[in-house]
Amino acid sequence: MDAARRKIAQSGLLLSNCPPDVTDALLRRAVVRRYARGQVLFEHGDPAHSVYIVLDGWVKLYRVTPSGSEAVVGVFTRGRSFGEAAALRGDCYPVACEAATDCEVVQIPSAEILAVMRSHPEVCIAILSSTFAHLHALVSEVEQLKAHTGAQRVAQFLLSLADCTGGRCTVTLPFDKILIAGRIGMKPESLSRAFARLREQGVRIRNDKAEIADIERLRAFVDDDAATGHPEGSAARSTR
């Protein structure tokens, strides 16, 4: 693994808080794998024997519902890890994983992580931090589904991609609109309507680009309880 890949792998919560010697030991035993868009990393129910860190591109975690539709559980990009909880319990993966774009990942055997956890208790804190981050993200997504309109959820997604703190900004949509819709709990036709509504907030979609006239204005729209039709939302948030 070259220095650039090592730096990305070390940037996420999983390894960033580990002692350097532990990180080096884990990465020496890790394998870098490349996947083309649409390739499967693992299936739902496969034995969980590895933890993954994304080096480049995007991967999606999903379940297929009894009706045959796909429910997207999460989408991960550079520096993000996944599979920790199942792999460290010696369980089966509760979801399937597929390359949403061409991607590159680091695959770390769970047996190696468990070994260093026994010899370096401080590594357990890093694992707990990573697991808590996944839980916090899921709680935030449930809150958005219940408290935000479709347009607000799309706006929040665009804000998560933006590297601007204010003013005009252009972001690249990282994957196709069907996956974007699944990622934020919408149907593709609802996503199209949400994009249309966001024109009123200064957002224009051109192919795979979203042109945002004013980041602060879009952020205010996400936080606007009046847009949800639930004026009590502000009071509810103040009690959290």
pLDDT per residue as tens digits for the range 45-57: 999 999 999 999 9
* Residue of 64, 26, 61, 27 lying closest to 41 (CA atoms): 61
Going by DSSP bridges, is the β-strand pair 70-76/59-64 parallel, antiparallel, or unpaired? antiparallel
pLDDT classification of 94: cutoffs 50, 70, 90: very high
- Specify the CATH number of the domain 146-225: 1.10.10.10
CATH homologous superfamily, domain 3-128: Jelly Rolls (2.60.120.10)
Supply the pTM of this predicted model. Answer: 0.79
Domain boundaries, the chain: 3-128, 146-225
Laid out side by side, the sheet with 203-206 consists of: 169-172, 209-212, 203-206
pLDDT per residue as tens digits for the range 11-70: 888 888 788 888 999 999 999 999 999 999 999 999 999 999 999 999 999 998 888 888
pLDDT of residue 20: 87
Only one residue has tokens 């870098």, namely 32
> Cβ(43)–Cβ(96) under 8 Å?
yes
Amino acid symbol at 237: R
Backbone angles phi, psi at 215, to 5 degrees: -60, -45
